[in-house]
């Protein structure tokens, strides 16, 4: 860490503020740490999955200031002052009620192994936030960066369309 650089990173994750000390070693944010790494290893938010770890599969998708980003391609030190939402941040923290989009995935069995599901839900969440009533082609396009090998795509598209206009983009 160069002299004069801030000694901590401040960011908000799922509505909670964090000030993470910079530097090497346990509990610190290293210069090379990706946001995915910090979320999983530093904050224990393991719902964000790492699969390819180079920006090709979408498993690590989270929201940054409401937009879908690949947390394996972002350095945590780049996220100063940002608002991050992960899959753990979608359900109502007080009641535990699922987000309508999550509930729609449950109702449509829009997953098989479930490993890619958090990333897909976050991509869909960003879509619905920007475009609450997408048509089918817009859903396909918005999810085209998400790798799913079980081929749950068809049920996913049904689930996203069913949640659209129902508060899935709140």
Partner 1 sequence: MTEFRYIGKPTPRKDARDIVTGRLPFLGDMVLPGMLHGRILRSSVPHALIRSIDTAGALALPGVKAVLTCENVPDWMGGIPKHVRVLDRKVRYVGDPVALVAAETEDVAEEAAALVRVEYEPLPAVYDVEEALAPGAPQLYEEFPGNVYPPGMPAFGPRALHEIVYGDVERGRREADFVVAGECAYESIPNPLPPEAPSVIAAWEDEDTVCVWSASQGPHMLKVSLARRMGAAGFRSVGAPVGGSYGSKYMSWQFVFPAAALARAAKAPVKLCFGKAEHLAAFTVRIGSRLRAEVGMKKDGTVTFVSGDWLVNTGAFSEITPGMVAVGCGEAQLAVRCANWDLRSRVVCTNRTPSGQVRGFGGQELKCALLPILAAGMEKAGIDPVDFLKRNYVKPGDGYYWRDGNWWVCRGTDYARAMDEGAARFGWKEKWKGWLVPSAAEGARRRGVGVGVHGNADVGEDVSEAFVRLDPDGTATVYSGLAEHGTGQRTNICKMVAEVLQIPLERVSVTPCDTSVNPFEFGPVGSRGTYAIGGAVIAAAEDALRQLFAAMAPRFGVSPGELETREGLVYVRGRPEEALPWVTGLRYYGACLGRGRFRPDFTLPNFMMIFTEVEVDTETGKADLVRVVGATDVGQVIDPPGLINQLNGCLGSAGIDTALCEETVMDTRLGRIMNANLIDYKWRTFAELPAMEHVVLETPLPSHRFHAVGVGEIATAPGPSAVLMAVSNAIGVRMAEYPLTPDRILRALGRIAGKEGER
Interface contacts to partner 1, rule CB under 8 A: 40, 45-54, 56-57, 59, 86-88, 90-91, 98, 102-103, 105-109, 111-118, 121, 139-141, 143-157
Distance between CA atoms of 114 and 18, rounded to whole angstroms? 29
Residue closest to 59 by CA, chosen among 42, 40, 41: 40
What single-letter DSSP state applies at residue 29? B
Nearer residue to partner 1 within complex by CB, 10 or 16: 16
Q: What tokens does 6 get?
A: 């801030």
Distance between CA atoms of 145 and 124, rounded to whole angstroms? 11
The least CB distance from residue 41 to partner 1, in Å, is 9
Which residue matches tokens 């508060």? 167
Residue closest to 148 by CA, chosen among 106, 113, 123: 113
Nearer residue to partner 1 within complex by CB, 19 or 160: 160
Nearer residue to partner 1 within complex by CB, 75 or 157: 157
What are the start-end ranges of the H helices in 39-150? Answer: 100-107, 117-130, 136-142
Nearer residue to partner 1 within complex by CB, 109 or 133: 109
The least CB distance from residue 5 to partner 1, in Å, is 21
Distance between CA atoms of 37 and 39, rounded to whole angstroms? 6
The least CB distance from residue 159 to partner 1, in Å, is 10
The least CB distance from residue 40 to partner 1, in Å, is 8
Nearer residue to partner 1 within complex by CB, 56 or 135: 56
The least CB distance from residue 57 to partner 1, in Å, is 5
């Amino acid at each position: 860490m160069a002299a004069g650089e801030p000694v901590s990173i401040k960011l908000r994750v799922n509505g909670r503020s964090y000030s993470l000390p910079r530097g090497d070693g346990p509990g610190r944010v290293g210069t090379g740490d990706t946001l995915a790494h910090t979320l999983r290893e530093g904050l224990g938010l393991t719902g964000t999955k790492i699969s390819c770890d180079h920006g090709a599969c979408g498993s690590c998708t989270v929201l940054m200031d409401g937009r879908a980003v690949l947390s394996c391609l972002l350095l945590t030190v780049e996220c100063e002052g940002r608002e991050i939402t992960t899959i753990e941040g979608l359900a109502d923290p007080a009641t535990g009620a699922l987000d309508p989009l999550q509930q729609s995935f449950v109702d449509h069995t829009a997953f098989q192994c479930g490993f890619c599901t958090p990333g897909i839900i976050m991509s869909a969440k960003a879509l619905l936030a920007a475009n609450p009533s997408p048509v089918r082609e817009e859903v396909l396009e918005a999810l085209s960066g998400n790798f799913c090998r079980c081929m749950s795509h068809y049920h996913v598209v049904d689930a996203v369309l069913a949640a659209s206009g129902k508060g899935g983009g709140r």
